[in-house]
Chain A
Amino acid sequence: MGGQNDKYEYETEAHTFYVGANANPIPKLDLSGVLSFTKGTANIHDLDFSGDPFTLAVNGRTDDYSFTYINGSEEYSDLEYVMWELELTGNYSITEQLGLTVNWLYSEYQDQEEYVYGELDGKTWSLSSFVTYRF
């Protein structure tokens, strides 16, 4: 006994967009930045079972079965997320030997359809700076 679905679809889509720039506005200073955006979705379509709920009696005990929850898998399997990332970097040559680098990174993940791993929302940033000395 069971259910049958002659044709179902599993569809995945992803859009990725980025824009970046690098510039040398004044001598000794290099600037660069990148912004990226990704939107991903995945869905099951047309998942349906042709069978109706039924009853099965075994050893005098009656069990009722339904496809209700299995049909729900169409919804459980939905995926949708949006991801942003922005990185800005600056390099300044203080002297021929000494340079300063500053970097800022921001990243955000928006989980818009909770999947089997729970809600994976998150955002992070980091501000980094270091000096480089060349001998």
Chain B
Amino acid sequence: MKITTTIVMSVFIVLGLACLAIAEDAKPYDIEISVGGSMNDLDETDGGRVAEYDSTVDKNANWILGGKVSYTLDKVAFDAYGEYLDGDDQAYGANLDLSRILMLETDYLRFFHRLDHDNLNHLLASLARSGQGATLYHTDFNASDNYGITRSEWKSQAKLNVPMVPGLSFTFNHRFEERKGMDQARTMSKCSSCHVVGVSKDISETTNEWNPSVNYRMGPISMNYDFSYRSFNSGSDVPENLYFQAQNPGAAPGTNADFGARLQYDQDDGSLPFSRTADSEKWSHKIKVKADLPADNKVNLSYVYSKATNNDSDDGGSALYGDAGKELSVDYWALNGGWHWKVNKAMAFTLKGKYQDMDGSEVGVDVNDITDVISGTSQTYADFLGEDFDFRRQSAYDEDEYSLDAKFAWKILKDLKLKLGYELEYLDRENAEYHHVVDDTTTQKFSIGSKWRPMMGLRVSADYEFTFVDDPYVFHNTMCPSWDEAQALGFAPGTYSVDSWYSKYVYGVRTMNRSNQPETVNDIRIKTCWMATDKINTNVHMHYKIAENSDAGGSDWEQDMFNGGLNVMYTPTAKLGINFGYNYFYDKYEAMFCSAFYNG
């Protein structure tokens, strides 16, 4: 940190001396340098929220160094800025414009974000009988660690307008993001979610994004080709957890090996990695054509293709997560079209259409074979069932989507504008049956809005939108196992046998569909701006939304949301300005809740 501080201070000192020399000349230059310091104090308990994005308050004191330079001469313009508070709070940037032919821009920003530490103490569900071990407990292996991430982002852009070919330009964008620090990783230990553990995990992630494009405008037609490549690399720690020995909680330790035949992994598999962050990359190509047609018509058409790949899914398996055996990817392509028609001075019509197709890799997952045999037999559970636990995963990404969006704007009076809209979207999920969700969803939105100036100084806008979804995204039979149905299938209360499968008697008898997606939405927004006098300006805004889904099974799902506020600006004199405001936010969900008890 001392080295960084020394380097940064040296840069500012050199810049200052250079400025003194430059300042001897006339004024194509504008230069500003700031030097100072800050005294700080932070008093917090468990990490605290009070300085969530402020790294400097951890120190008793820090430097404040800043500067700006701008230079304009003939057709050349350059400006740069910099601000340094500490190693985790810096910002720099520069622009260069050479005769509007070549334009370069770069910006760098670094800041620190304090993260929360889940102490896991809320995991309290337990047996009622005193003296028994809890059915859900936890271990935080790094209870005293504070978590936080330093995020750096460097964005650059270059644009070249080719002088010899009017209308032709090339653009190149680059973005580099780095996240470094420490966060909490959590996993379940023991046989299920009975024991949750937390450990600290060093984070080191980079994202690199390259985005060249070429643009060409020829008369009323403009064309654009845009290529993008993004890679994400994680050098973060992959924490490991030593899972507990498979053990029937009702038997003395070491006396019952039967659980080993039922578990995919336990202590015998050694420490197993969890909380992995996969490396990934994404390629995309976009072609867009726009044309200005006679009679105030404009049309556009674009095609997008992209492929996103998980580069680590072919790394081999583990007892914990099986082996996917190949890199998984999602292919996406879309066709967009649009037409805008300015009918006359008072009316305009816009129509947009889109088709998109998404396909995710289908993959066979090779699950680690359990070698322990069922107690008293020579069979594993795979032998007993006559099949292993390998499975084929059909991607939930596989879907086709069609959408249409029409808008009509009409200036009815000089001070009154009206707009009407209709949107239709049809979504077809190709693998819905494998994921127990609805096959297709049709969404329709009807909207009406207005902007009105009833008198000088007063503007009112009001918008209403009604959404109807048939059928919203719903998980079928996802909760509330039926005790009666389980018994009807043959499960005898208070008994246990090798046939007492959760898949049959718990998961198989779940009765309720669930969703947090609405079937209907009523959404209304009102906004007013009123300049009461030349010294008082006010605005009032209100947004109310009520969403319902009565198609989820069991009781309805509902959401009520309200957001409203008032802002007042009062300027009694040219030398005094006062402003104040109030905002209220309210959000309420109503839903159904089911909890199943599982016996160890």
Chain A residues within 8 Å of B, Cβ to Cβ = 1-25, 47, 49, 53, 56-59, 61, 63-66, 68-70, 72, 76, 81, 83, 101, 107-109, 111, 115-135
Q: Is the CB of A128 within 8 A of B593?
A: no
Q: Is the CB of A128 within 8 A of B38?
A: yes
Q: Quick one: CB contact mask for B578-599 with A, threshold 8 Å, 1 for yes?
A: 1111111111111111111101
Q: Is the CB of B66 within 8 A of A130?
A: yes
Nearest Cβ distance between residue B247 and chain A, in whole angstroms? 13
Determine which of A6, A24, A61, A135 lies in contact with B23 in the assembled complex, contact meaning CB atoms within 8 Å: A135
B residues in contact with A126, CB < 8 Å: 38-41, 56-57
In the complex, whether B118 has a CB less than 8 A from a CB of chain A is: yes
Determine which of A22, A49, A72 lies in contact with B124 in the assembled complex, contact meaning CB atoms within 8 Å: A72
Roughly how many angstroms separate A17 CA and B116 CA in the complex, as a whole number?
26
- 9 pairs, CB–CB < 8 Å, chain A vs chain B: A12-B586, A19-B580, A58-B250, A101-B34, A111-B45, A122-B44, A124-B50, A126-B38, A134-B31
In the A-B complex, the 7 residue pairs with the closest CB atoms:
A130-B36, A122-B48, A122-B44, A118-B46, A122-B50, A66-B128, A2-B596
Closest B residue to A23 by CB, please name it. Answer: B576
Determine which of B30, B54, B494, B576 lies in contact with A58 in the assembled complex, contact meaning CB atoms within 8 Å: B494
Cβ-Cβ contact count across A and B, 8 Å cutoff: 238
A residues in contact with B594, CB < 8 Å: 2-5
Q: Is the CB of A117 within 8 A of B46?
A: yes
Closest B residue to A66 by CB, please name it. Answer: B128
A residues in contact with B39, CB < 8 Å: 126-128
Nearest Cβ distance between residue B600 and chain A, in whole angstroms? 8
Nearest Cβ distance between residue B256 and chain A, in whole angstroms? 9
Q: Is the CB of A101 within 8 A of B36?
A: yes
Beyond A2-B481, A56-B599, 4 additional contacts (C-beta under 8 Å) are A58-B494, A128-B39, A135-B19, A135-B32
Determine which of B20, B124, B584 lies in contact with A135 in the assembled complex, contact meaning CB atoms within 8 Å: B20
Roughly how many angstroms separate A14 CA and B22 CA in the complex, as a whole number?
53
Nearest Cβ distance between residue A2 and chain B, in whole angstroms? 4
In the complex, whether B391 has a CB less than 8 A from a CB of chain A is: no
Most buried by B among A56, A66, A111, A117: A117
Roughly how many angstroms separate A63 CA and B587 CA in the complex, as a whole number?
40
Nearest Cβ distance between residue A75 and chain B, in whole angstroms? 10
Chain B residues within 8 Å of A, Cβ to Cβ = 19-20, 22-23, 29-51, 54, 56-57, 64, 66, 116-122, 124-129, 132, 248, 250, 480-481, 483, 493-496, 554-555, 565, 574-597, 599-600
Roughly how many angstroms separate A108 CA and B33 CA in the complex, as a whole number?
32
Q: Is the CB of A12 within 8 A of B116?
A: no
Q: Is the CB of A21 within 8 A of B45?
A: no
Roughly how many angstroms separate A47 CA and B64 CA in the complex, as a whole number?
52
Closest A residue to B559 by CB, please name it. Answer: A10
Q: Is the CB of A15 within 8 A of B32?
A: no
A residues in contact with B555, CB < 8 Å: 6-7
**A122-B49, A126-B41, A127-B38 are known contacts. Are A12 and B588 too (CB-CB below 8 A)?**
yes
Q: Is the CB of B45 within 8 A of A119?
A: yes
Nearest Cβ distance between residue B545 and chain A, in whole angstroms? 14
Determine which of B19, B42, B575 lies in contact with A122 in the assembled complex, contact meaning CB atoms within 8 Å: B42
Q: Is the CB of B593 within 8 A of A47?
A: yes
Summarize A's interface: helix, strand, loop or mixed. strand
Closest B residue to A115 by CB, please name it. Answer: B122
Determine which of B126, B578, B591 lies in contact with A20 in the assembled complex, contact meaning CB atoms within 8 Å: B578
Closest A residue to B85 by CB, please name it. Answer: A128
A residues in contact with B40, CB < 8 Å: 124-127
B residues in contact with A65, CB < 8 Å: 127-128, 597
Nearest Cβ distance between residue A55 and chain B, in whole angstroms? 8
Roughly how many angstroms separate A9 CA and B596 CA in the complex, as a whole number?
20
Q: Is the CB of B593 within 8 A of A56?
A: no
Q: Is the CB of B575 within 8 A of A6?
A: no
Closest A residue to B41 by CB, please name it. Answer: A125
Q: Is the CB of A109 within 8 A of B48?
A: yes
**A2-B596, A72-B124 are known contacts. Are A117 and B580 too (CB-CB below 8 A)?**
no
Q: Is the CB of A121 within 8 A of B48?
A: yes
Q: Is the CB of B29 within 8 A of A9?
A: no
Q: Is the CB of B590 within 8 A of A135?
A: no
**A65-B597, A121-B45 are known contacts. Are A16 and B582 too (CB-CB below 8 A)?**
yes
Q: Is the CB of B42 within 8 A of A124?
A: yes
Q: Is the CB of B250 within 8 A of A70?
A: no
Determine which of A9, A22, A63, A115 lies in contact with B589 in the assembled complex, contact meaning CB atoms within 8 Å: A9
Closest A residue to B578 by CB, please name it. Answer: A21
A residues in contact with B579, CB < 8 Å: 19-21
Q: Is the CB of A57 within 8 A of B19?
A: no
Nearest Cβ distance between residue B293 and chain A, in whole angstroms? 48
Roughly how many angstroms separate A108 CA and B64 CA in the complex, as a whole number?
23
Nearest Cβ distance between residue A6 and chain B, in whole angstroms? 5
Roughly how many angstroms separate A111 CA and B45 CA in the complex, as a whole number?
10
Q: Is the CB of B597 within 8 A of A1?
A: yes
Roughly how many angstroms separate A135 CA and B23 CA in the complex, as a whole number?
6
Roughly how many angstroms separate A19 CA and B33 CA in the complex, as a whole number?
31
Q: Is the CB of B50 within 8 A of A108?
A: yes
**A117-B118, A124-B40, A132-B33 are known contacts. Are A14 and B57 too (CB-CB below 8 A)?**
no
Nearest Cβ distance between residue B361 and chain A, in whole angstroms? 36
A residues in contact with B578, CB < 8 Å: 19-21
Q: Is the CB of B124 within 8 A of A120?
A: no
Determine which of B23, B35, B590 lies in contact with A9 in the assembled complex, contact meaning CB atoms within 8 Å: B590
Roughly how many angstroms separate A83 CA and B560 CA in the complex, as a whole number?
25
Q: Is the CB of A120 within 8 A of B45?
A: yes
Nearest Cβ distance between residue B84 and chain A, in whole angstroms? 12
B residues in contact with A14, CB < 8 Å: 583-585
B residues in contact with A4, CB < 8 Å: 480, 592-595
Roughly how many angstroms separate A130 CA and B117 CA in the complex, as a whole number?
36
Closest B residue to A67 by CB, please name it. Answer: B595
Q: Is the CB of B595 within 8 A of A2?
A: yes
Roughly how many angstroms separate A6 CA and B54 CA in the complex, as a whole number?
44
A residues in contact with B56, CB < 8 Å: 126
A residues in contact with B122, CB < 8 Å: 76, 115-116
Most buried by B among A63, A65, A72, A135: A135
Q: Is the CB of A10 within 8 A of B31?
A: no
Q: Is the CB of A69 within 8 A of B126?
A: yes
A residues in contact with B129, CB < 8 Å: 63-64
B residues in contact with A58, CB < 8 Å: 250, 494-496, 599
Roughly how many angstroms separate A121 CA and B43 CA in the complex, as a whole number?
8
